Amino acid sequence: MTALRCFSVCSLLLLNASAGFGDLRRPENVSMDSLNTRYVLRWDWPHETAANQTVTFTAQYIHWFRTQKKNYEKYWKSVCVNVLEHHCDLTGADLHYQGVFLLRVQANTSQQTSGWVQIRFCPDKHAALGPPSSVKLNSVEGDLEIIITDPLSSTNQSMKTLLDDRFSYHIQYWKRSEEPQTAKVLETKNSVVMLTELDRQTWYCVRVQSRVDFYEKSSVFSDTHCTRTEGQMPYWQIFLYFLISLLLCFLLLLLYFCFKKMFPLLKNTFCPAIQLPDHIQELWLNESEKPQLLAPESPESVCEPLVVVSAELDAVAVDERSHTGDQDSSAHSRHSSGDSGVYSTEEDSCHRSTTHADLQMSSRKHREELHDGMLLDPCA
């Protein structure tokens, strides 16, 4: 009984020791992410570790033919050693595109090491193929020229040189007004292709796909490129555009006449003919529109001609009347006085006759001036 208890205790101790110093869990889901000649080895490690332990990873590769030799372990080449990431870039490694390789990865801690997880990789068969680097379209005399640039490797080498005659292009082209599902297909190994028998003055779209028929590999399609073919426009299309332009002109005229008939109604509705009081309308007028007295531009525009009769004319009339009275009185005194006053009368008559003649001449000249329209203007 005592021996049985001792065996049980020893067995428990051995189990605990194996749990503490046993192998570390291996990485999972090891795979190769590749495109042309760019290779990245990836894996997952979703396990838990102790708080004071850090898990690192090591990745190696070897040529397949070396595994046929004895002691081939010395031919393994390490690419990533004790890295924290869950991936390893093998692009710079010596992985020939048409070779066959073994890849492996393991997890490490300061006290433990997991077992290796190994996969087989053949780039020519397993690596994904990329689309053309570029696609250009040129319209040449109604035809469509397609210029394709080969997909490139990590060293900027054409993938066509690595795949020899197995490499080809799958071209799809269609009218832009149609769906890509109705596209026409063209298979070619040339990098320059001419599409003929196309409609003139029509937009066409093109996309290209890389293919390797030996492994039935194909890339994704390139970006879609569209251009319009040259050449004379078909007559039916010219006639169609002419009909459309006539229809548009007719619609514009119809809208014009409809608007012309509706405009008075809309004007009466939104702008009724109700006059506002004058004192309110004056508030909306500009300074130039407000009523004001007109400033005279010249004196003649507001002045009337004024006829001025000189006081000299009145004096002449008075002198004439007085002279007439004097003549009557002098005649009467000549008859009563006799010859005694002959000399004195003659002297007075001559003086008065000269003065009277001067007055008559001055009066006649003044009348002629008035008669001829010589007027004095008080505004001058």
Is it the case that residue 349 has pLDDT exceeding 80?
Answer: no
Q: What is the pLDDT of residue 354?
A: 47
The DSSP code sequence of 47-89 is ----TT---EEEEEEEEGGGGGSTTGGGG-EEEEEEESSSEEE
- With 90 as the cut, is the pLDDT of residue 10 above it? no
User: Got the DSSP string for 249-267?
Assistant: HHHHHHHHHHHHHHHHHHH
Mean pLDDT of 64-76: 88
Can 28-126 and 134-228 be said to share one CATH topology?
A: yes
Looking at residue 237, its pLDDT comes to 75
Please say if the pLDDT value at position 116 is more than 90.
yes
- More reliable by pLDDT, 237 or 222: 222
d(CA 339, CA 330): 13
pLDDT above 70 covers a percentage of the chain that reads: 61
Question: Whole-number mean pLDDT of the chain?
Answer: 76
Of 75-79, 229-233, 279-283, 350-354, the range with the lowest mean pLDDT is: 350-354
Contacts 24+ apart (CB under 8 A), 221-224: 221/131, 221/172, 222/131, 222/132, 222/134, 222/135, 223/135, 224/180
> What's residue 332's pLDDT?
43
Which comes out higher in pLDDT, residue 350 or 78?
Answer: 78
Residue 317 has pLDDT above 90, yes or no: no
pLDDT score of 261: 74
Residue percentage of the chain with pLDDT more than 90: 41
pLDDT at residue number 5: 38
Q: How far apart are CA 361 and CA 282, in angstroms?
A: 64
Residue 310, CB-side half-sphere exposure with 13 Å CA sphere: 14
pLDDT tier at 196, thresholds 50, 70, 90 = very high
- Residue 237 carries which side chain, given as an amino acid letter? Q
Per-residue pLDDT at 319 exceeds 90: no
Residue given tokens 């004096």 in the structure block: 315
Q: Which two tokens stand for residue 70?
A: 């004895």
pLDDT at 70: 84
The whole-number pLDDT of residue 146 equals 96
17-37 pLDDT, tens per residue?
Answer: 333 334 688 999 999 999 999
Q: Tens digits of per-residue pLDDT, 130-168?
A: 999 999 999 988 899 999 999 999 999 999 998 888 899
The larger pLDDT score, comparing residue 297 to residue 12, is at 297
Does the pLDDT of residue 191 top 90, yes or no?
yes
Between residues 241 and 259, the one the model is more confident about: 241
Band the pLDDT of 59: cuts 50, 70, 90.
Answer: very high
Separation between Cα atoms, residue 50 and residue 306, nearest integer Å:
131
Mean pLDDT of 88-108: 93
Yes or no: domain 28-126 corresponds to CATH 2.30.30.30: no
Biggest CA-to-CA distance, the chain:
220
Ranking 27-41, 183-197, 245-259, 344-358 by mean pLDDT, the lowest is 344-358
Per-domain boundaries in the chain: 28-126, 134-228
Q: Can you give the pLDDT at residue 231?
A: 74
Higher pLDDT, 289 or 94: 94
* Per-residue pLDDT band at 192 (split at 50, 70, 90): very high
Please compute the mean of the pLDDT values over residues 288-298 and round it to a whole number. Answer: 54
Give dist(CA 152, CA 165) in Å, integer: 16
Closest of 111, 1, 94 to residue 49, by C-alpha: 111
**CATH class of segment(s) 134-228:** mainly beta
